[in-house]
Structure 1
Amino acid sequence: MDVIVGSESHLEQMEKLVSSWYKDGTLPESFIWPPDSRPGKLAAAPSCKNIPVIDLGGAEGGDHTYIIHQILEASQEFGFFQVINHGISDTLLSDTMSVLKEFFELPLEDKASVYSEDPQKSCKLFSSSVNYDAEDVHLWRDVLRHPCHPLVECLQDWPQQPSRYRELVGTCSTQVKKLALNVLELISEGLGLGTGYFRNELSQNLILSVNHYPPCPDPSLTLGLTKHCDPNLITILMQEDHVNGLQVFKDGEWMGVEPISHALVVNIGYQLHIISNGKLKSSEHRAVTNPCNARTSAGFFVAPSYVCVVEPARALVSASNPQLYKSFQYEEFLRNFNTMVFEGKSEFAMESFKLQT
């Protein structure tokens, strides 16, 4: 395939993928972050044993109230927790991760139909970000991103190779969405919002973003993903076993989120922080690279529809607990968030949506 796009052929554009050249052992200057941004020795920060691991196995029984308490406590203190006995089979998780890794190992020619630098294309493979050519410094990652809902419509645009990609990712995304809604139901109950609060436009969209981080010659100088909070409602993340990389910022320090076999990481996004009127925490996190092993992670982002109006839940606003954020359409928030990220100001993404109290 040799389609001309501007002054570059399609395959020449694909040579931007880190996975296409990393084996030559070089670290191009365009991937070296400024001293105040690079992880340095913290790229090898030890995993934190304190990030909560919540067993959802008893959520339907006598442990229901206790599990809600654990989820709220973790969401308030960390903004992150891991779940086990979540209802998704170990086999499906392992097979899905295997097919995702297999995709990135395909020859460039087999990935050419998916590669795109068009921000409007819904299913695309790209390197670093969709703004690659405008970036001062690049991320050490390749990304495959596509919507998962409505499934029947979306999967027609998904990769056709590996052969089981659509089957496995489709099944997994359906079960992950079910899990996310179950967790949101527990959060809703814990916040006193009743049942079904999030089962509407607030959780309509599901986007899969698969990040592939090849081995890096010097992880202290590079980043797989810069520090940020997720703009969506809630994120369910699949991590590879035994390969560290995800770090969360807490109490002024970066701490590693230890991969637990077949556990899933749950991350509170900005929209859930806003709906809870600031009660639940959205924590900054990042991904660092590894000198020896490639790492692949799959984030399922549950988000409102673009025209959905988001605001603090009225039941959580009172004279003693005034409203902290204004009402807005999610599309407006997302547009502002993407601009802030591109400008390297992601920490200010919430500022224009705060109410002065």
Structure 2
Amino acid sequence: MNMNLGSSIPVPSVKELVSGKSFLEERVVPDRYLIPTTAANDYPTAAAPFSGDPVPVIDFTKLIDPHSQQTQLLKLHNACKNWGIFQLVGHGVSDELLKVMHRKSQEFFDMPAEEKIRYAQKPGSLEGYGQAFVISEDQNLEWCDMIFLKTIPTHIRKLEFWPQEHPHNFREALDTYSHDMRKTAVSIIGFIAMALGLDGKSFSEAFEGGNYDVRMNCYPPCPEPKRVIGISSHADISGITLLTDCGDIPGLQVLKDGEWVFVEPITNAIVVNIGIIMEVVSNGIYKAPYHRAAVNKQKDRFSIVNFCYPSKDFYIKPVEELINSDSLALYKSFTYDEYFQSFYERTNLSDDGVPFIDTLKI
């Protein structure tokens, strides 16, 4: 089975667009990047107030401490159930490694266009430098450049897309970063399972042998930030997703109780969000939240996203422990390949307005 995430038509680099002479003189956003006026109306600015509580913060050191574990597990359960997203502190990934990887990511996007194009996506694959899921010439574009790389297991890496000489030590930094983020994912998924009352060890083992992808994002400044979108609203198809912001510029937004809420960056925190796989496994108790990315008027924003998947022998279905006469299974059962095939087929269709998660329901 072809496990590529579909094709993506080559499109201009946004970073090169904003540095071009005509754009600098006219400061006019090309029509293809403009979002509909109706969508722009519900686009919050960084100063927009939210009527509820802030995005939950989970302290990993309290999860591993027997004295505080039960209290923190309850907090984790509520975060996954009510938000589907939380910020993880005390996670053990070194501050220095995060700084190095953030720097390498920025250095990549700051390279000359002729350097970056060496790592451009090829037909039939999402891997490499470009944009994701562009399937038609008249499709609206996101205000974002990205490089997408498969990182773990190491034998599936396509090193022709991994910058080698510039930025210096990029490959070495990403290798270390990927393994450290997997370690964090394996640990936190175990605790997420425990918060559901399940066997954390079996979930940790499934993700220990799982697949991991990295997407690095560059959101250049835009003179009309409310008229473009960095990344459109979506829920991740992963088990869980780990994100780090390369700076302190708010951009990630999560849909909470009908409102778009900024996830305010916390230095060296990891943003964890539930993916659709875990929504299915939890039988809908935990939700894969809809989220998107806003852009800034003055500054570039960079982020690194780690998509974490279980091993390929993991059966994607509601776990039996959560099914009983009072709580029937809400979702169908899928093999790993069936699940992804279902998703890939939908990316090549016109948007029918039906969320992917709804196609998985019984």
Give the TM-score of the pair, scaled to structure 1. Answer: 0.89
1:230 equivalenced with 2:236 (yes/no): yes
Structure 1 window deviating more from structure 2 (237-246 vs 96-105): it is 237-246
| RMSD (CA atoms) | 2.2
AA matched with 1:99: K
- The 1:303/1:347 distance shift into structure 2, 3 A limit, reads farther
Structure 1 window deviating more from structure 2 (336-345 vs 93-102): it is 336-345
Distance, in Å, in 2 between the alignment partners of 1:91 and 1:47 is 33
Distance, in Å, in 2 between the alignment partners of 1:83 and 1:263 is 6
The Cα offsets for residues 189-238 of structure 1, whole Å up to 9 and x where unpaired, read as: 22222132223456611010111110011011100111111011000001
AA matched with 2:32: S
- How far the C-alpha of 1:284 sits from its partner, in A, is 0.6
Aligned to 1:198: 203
Aligned to 1:149: 152
Which residue of the other structure, out of 330, 339, 345, is the alignment partner of 1:324? 330
Aligned to 2:69: 64
- The 1:15/1:193 distance shift into structure 2, 3 A limit, reads closer
- The 1:117/1:20 distance shift into structure 2, 3 A limit, reads farther
Question: What does residue range 35-50 of structure 1 map to in structure 2 within 5 Å?
Answer: 35-38=37-40, 41-44=43-46, 46=48, 50=54
Distance, in Å, in 1 between the alignment partners of 2:353 and 2:308 is 20
Distance, in Å, in 2 between the alignment partners of 1:181 and 1:315 is 21
Aligned to 2:3: none
Distance, in Å, in 1 between the alignment partners of 2:344 and 2:291 is 16
SS at match of 1:37: helix
Distance, in Å, in 1 between the alignment partners of 2:144 and 2:44 is 18
Distance, in Å, in 2 between the alignment partners of 1:224 and 1:39 is 16
- The 1:153/1:275 distance shift into structure 2, 3 A limit, reads closer
Structure 1 window deviating more from structure 2 (247-256 vs 143-152): it is 143-152
- The 1:197/1:114 distance shift into structure 2, 3 A limit, reads same
Aligned to 1:110: 115
Aligned to 1:314: 320
AA matched with 1:29: D
Structure 1 window deviating more from structure 2 (186-195 vs 316-325): it is 186-195
Aligned to 2:79: 74
Distance, in Å, in 2 between the alignment partners of 1:173 and 1:196 is 21
1:291 equivalenced with 2:297 (yes/no): yes
Aligned to 1:126: 130
Aligned to 1:27: 29
Distance, in Å, in 1 between the alignment partners of 2:169 and 2:41 is 37
For the 8 Å contact 2:133–2:347, the answer to whether it is kept is: no
- The 1:80/1:345 distance shift into structure 2, 3 A limit, reads farther
- How far the C-alpha of 1:20 sits from its partner, in A, is 1.2
For the 8 Å contact 1:241–1:260, the answer to whether it is kept is: no
Which residue of the other structure, out of 251, 264, 267, is the alignment partner of 1:261? 267
- The 1:41/1:79 distance shift into structure 2, 3 A limit, reads closer
Structure 1 window deviating more from structure 2 (190-199 vs 286-295): it is 190-199
* Alignment length (residue pairs): 341
1:273 equivalenced with 2:279 (yes/no): yes
Aligned to 1:7: none
Distance, in Å, in 2 between the alignment partners of 1:298 and 1:39 is 28
* Structure 2 unaligned residues grouped into runs of 5+: 1-8
SS at match of 1:324: coil
1:51 equivalenced with 2:55 (yes/no): yes
Distance, in Å, in 2 between the alignment partners of 1:259 and 1:87 is 18
The Cα offsets for residues 91-133 of structure 1, whole Å up to 9 and x where unpaired, read as: 1111110110110000112112211242336x31013x24254
Distance, in Å, in 2 between the alignment partners of 1:345 and 1:255 is 26
For the 8 Å contact 1:126–1:144, the answer to whether it is kept is: yes
AA matched with 1:38: A
- The 1:304/1:134 distance shift into structure 2, 3 A limit, reads farther
For the 8 Å contact 2:56–2:87, the answer to whether it is kept is: yes
The Cα offsets for residues 234-271 of structure 1, whole Å up to 9 and x where unpaired, read as: 00001123211110111111110000111110000010
1:164 equivalenced with 2:175 (yes/no): no
Give the TM-score of the pair, scaled to structure 2. Answer: 0.87
Percent identity of equivalent pairs: 29
For the 8 Å contact 1:225–1:288, the answer to whether it is kept is: yes
Distance, in Å, in 1 between the alignment partners of 2:191 and 2:261 is 27
AA matched with 1:257: V
Distance, in Å, in 2 between the alignment partners of 1:218 and 1:56 is 39
Distance, in Å, in 2 between the alignment partners of 1:315 and 1:238 is 33
- The 1:240/1:345 distance shift into structure 2, 3 A limit, reads farther
Structure 1 window deviating more from structure 2 (52-61 vs 256-265): it is 52-61
Question: What does residue range 335-354 of structure 1 map to in structure 2 within 5 Å?
Answer: 335-340=341-346, 343-345=350-352, 348-354=355-361
Aligned to 2:139: 136
AA matched with 1:255: V
Question: What does residue range 300-311 of structure 1 map to in structure 2 within 5 Å?
Answer: 300-305=306-311, 308-311=314-317
- The 1:103/1:73 distance shift into structure 2, 3 A limit, reads same
